[in-house]
Copies of this chain bind each other. A is one copy, B any other.
Amino acid sequence: MTIAEINLIERLTQQFRRSPLQVNRLQEADAEIIRLDPRGSVCLAVTTDSIVEEIASGLYEDPYLVGWMTVMANMSDLAAVGAIPLGILISEVLPDGVPQDWLAELQRGIEKACEACGSFVLGGDTNTGGQLMLTGCALGTTSRERLLSRTGAHAGDRLYVTGFLGVGNAFALEHFMNHHNGPGETVSYQPFARLREGQSIAGIASACMDTSDGALTTLDQLMRINHVGFEIDSDVESILHPQARLAAEGADLPPWLLLAGQHGEFELMFTVSPENEMKLLETADRSNWQPFRLGRVIRCEEIRLPLYGRETVLDTGKIRNLSAECGSEIQRYIHELCLIDTTCKKGALQYVYS
């Protein structure tokens, strides 16, 4: 199954030449990696990310969060290529008559996120428009010796993640439920770009991508790019963020759906060869963080998850396209995901009784 988003990007870029200084190919790295000169080792990492749908859908109402996410979404792309950030440019489209204190909160979110990343706003642009919209463009440095991108995963590699999963989808789910059941916000969502982690795995990990679009989207994308599959051998409950487990329980949904939604948690998902695994653990320990082992890279191009007592193959292509198909019809989106879950359950029962 082809992915609507990948098709769109391929269509949009088909007329474009590639820079001879660009190291990565289309969609093969979270940030673009550009050599500063044809022979040198220093590379720039650059990326752009806009916060549009999250504002339009009402998911991000808090101006501080809008500012925070504009920075973090971009910095997370730098993290996934192991870059050291130089800073970020912010282009803002502001509706007429935005209140002063609202605007101050937006800017505070931007600044605080930069501080958290040890980085700076370098510049920007301001425009007036019908709807609030923010675009960030982050840049950083890396080198040819420590390149990290989405490509390079091989069967036999181990699959790791920098933290618990599902909190982005828990936040989105709660927002949606509250919309129907009245307020009562409990999920706190304020992801941190994993810059330190990305820098410490550069040169060690074989491939890396951030989970900005959710865990299963990340695995699906890594699968397509590397022509490998992934077998998760950890229990879903054990890899979910406590807030995600609670959100699934509260909404009476199967917990694994919090890996399926597209509102990510901005962890790094990465692979490492068996030879480099010890080096990874030592380096992480020295940098004072804990990689969490999810499973392994397999030869067969599929995503396997332990569900209902057996290893289940998930149609992650279908799951990814659901989001584009359903658009803003969240109820329908969740319903369709539940139908996929039912099929998994049925398959598991058949397996048990066969």
Contact = CB atoms under 8 A, between A and B. Distances in A.
Interface of A: 5, 8-9, 11-19, 21-22, 31-32, 34, 36, 42, 44, 46-50, 52-53, 56, 86-87, 89-93, 100, 103-104, 107-108, 110-111, 114-115, 119-131, 133, 135, 137, 139, 141
A44 B139 contact: yes
Ordered nearest first, which 9 A-B pairs have the shortest CB separation? A137-B137, A19-B120, A52-B127, A32-B123, A48-B89, A135-B135, A32-B122, A16-B121, A50-B91
A180 to B, nearest CB: 23
Contact of A32 (B32, B89, B108, B126): B89
Contacts of A22: 87, 120, 122
Contacts of A52: 93, 127-129
A108 to B, nearest CB: 6
Contacts of A124: 12, 48
Contacts of A47: 89, 123
13 contacts: A13-B107, A15-B108, A16-B121, A19-B86, A31-B123, A46-B89, A47-B89, A48-B125, A48-B137, A50-B127, A50-B135, A56-B129, A130-B131
A56 B47 CA distance: 26
Contacts of A12: 92, 103, 107, 124, 126
Contacts of A131: 129-131
A131 B93 CA distance: 12
A86 B21 CA distance: 8
Contact of A133 (B11, B31, B36, B93): B93
Contacts of A93: 50, 52, 133
Contacts of A114: 16-17
B53 A141 contact: no
A104 B22 CA distance: 23
A129 B139 contact: no
A49 B125 contact: yes
B135 A91 contact: yes
Contacts of A17: 111, 114-115, 120
B53 A128 contact: yes
Contacts of A128: 52-53
A49 B123 contact: no
Contacts of A120: 16-19, 22
Contacts of A50: 91, 93, 125, 127, 135
A130 to B, nearest CB: 6
Contact of A86 (B8, B34, B107, B123): B34
Given A34-B86, A93-B52, A139 B16 contact: no
